[in-house]
Amino acid sequence: MFPNFLPQAVGQLTESASIALAQSIQTAAIATPLINQPVTTTYVKQGSGGTPILLIHGFDSSVLEFRRLLPLLSGDNETWAVDLLGFGFTDRLSGIPYSPSAIKTHLYHFWKSLINQPVILVGASMGGATAIDLALTYPEVVKKLVLIDSAGLANGSPLSKLMFPPLDYLATQFLSNLKVRDRVSRMGYKNQSLASVDALYCGALHLQMPSWNQALITFTKSGGYSAFRFKKVSQIGQQTLILWGDSDKILGTRDAMRFKRAITQSKLIWIPDCGHLPHLEQPQITAQHILDFRV
């Protein structure tokens, strides 16, 4: 049975990994200083033991992004994935300024409420920028850092230039078109067979949540995650593992080396035959690198 807070279209999922993860999504009421009511936050927790691993998804995505990776990590390790503020299936309350700062505040209070011990923080794509921001602001939260084809060294989304009426609404309508999302999804993979119908449904299910478009407009208008200065990234003190698909067509491969140069205690590992989504395209290899890094 699927949780009743998920859109009915969840029943269209066909792959066992997608179905299993969707069935395991939970909610928690997270109190934050952002608003005077708790934010109903969606997350997945599996496994026990070891240093907790916390997975952070990318732009306009959800915990379903980790449907292949999370089960491989949680076999003998407490593993979490959370839907960021304004994304996934987490409630989008009116009155919240959806921005990187608000996302960081919400994520910190999620960690404080449910985990409250140092984690191995894993950020994919935009989630990498979120992870960097959290690690720099709250270093006590992050024991080790893993960046998967991470944003953070490039400027924010060019969509911000379109986010004024009526183009803001039209832009979100464009992004909600399944044919558009399928084309974007295919750019993320080197192996095109992985851009399946199930993958499309996983990437689009959260679009049916209330206020999806309003929150996305507000976040994009905020500028999203602008590039961190090289000097700022160099302040990361945690041991950092950089995993990067060798055929990334979304961010390219140059930033992998830039992250490696900026972060003193870092190691770069290229994921072979892989695009922008190693956690979906090469989950076994990606999981093993993370598990080796945790000790």
DSSP state, residue 235? T
Predicted confidence at residue 157, as pLDDT, reads 57
Helix (H) / strand (E) containing 82: strand 79-82
- pLDDT band with cut points at 50, 70 and 90 for residue 167: very low
Predicted confidence at residue 181, as pLDDT, reads 86
The tokens describing 160, both together, are: 């911000």
Ramachandran angles phi, psi of 229, nearest 5°: -65, 145
- pLDDT band with cut points at 50, 70 and 90 for residue 182: confident
- pLDDT band with cut points at 50, 70 and 90 for residue 162: very low
pLDDT (average), residues 248-256:
95
Q: Which residues contact 291 (CB under 8 A, 6 or more apart)?
A: 73, 77
> What pLDDT, in 10s, does the model give residues 221-246?
888 888 888 789 999 999 999 999 99
Shortest CA distance to 274 belongs to which of 240, 255, 292, 249? 249
- pLDDT band with cut points at 50, 70 and 90 for residue 73: very high
pLDDT of residue 160 exceeding 50, the answer is no
- pLDDT band with cut points at 50, 70 and 90 for residue 165: low
pLDDT of residue 163 exceeding 50, the answer is no
- pLDDT band with cut points at 50, 70 and 90 for residue 170: low
Cβ atoms of 92 and 206 within 8 Å: the answer is: no
Predicted confidence at residue 23, as pLDDT, reads 98
pLDDT of residue 119 exceeding 80, the answer is yes
CATH topology of domain 8-294: Rossmann fold (3.40.50)
> What pLDDT, in 10s, does the model give residues 55-66?
999 999 999 999
pLDDT of residue 128 exceeding 90, the answer is yes
pLDDT (average), residues 243-250:
97
pLDDT (average), residues 173-181:
79
Going from N- to C-terminal start, the domains of the chain cover: 8-294
Predicted confidence at residue 171, as pLDDT, reads 64
pLDDT of residue 159 exceeding 60, the answer is no
Rg of the chain (C-alpha set): 18
**Cα–Cα dist 131/229, whole Å:** 15
**Cα–Cα dist 103/137, whole Å:** 12
Q: Which residue has the tokens 């999806």?
A: 212
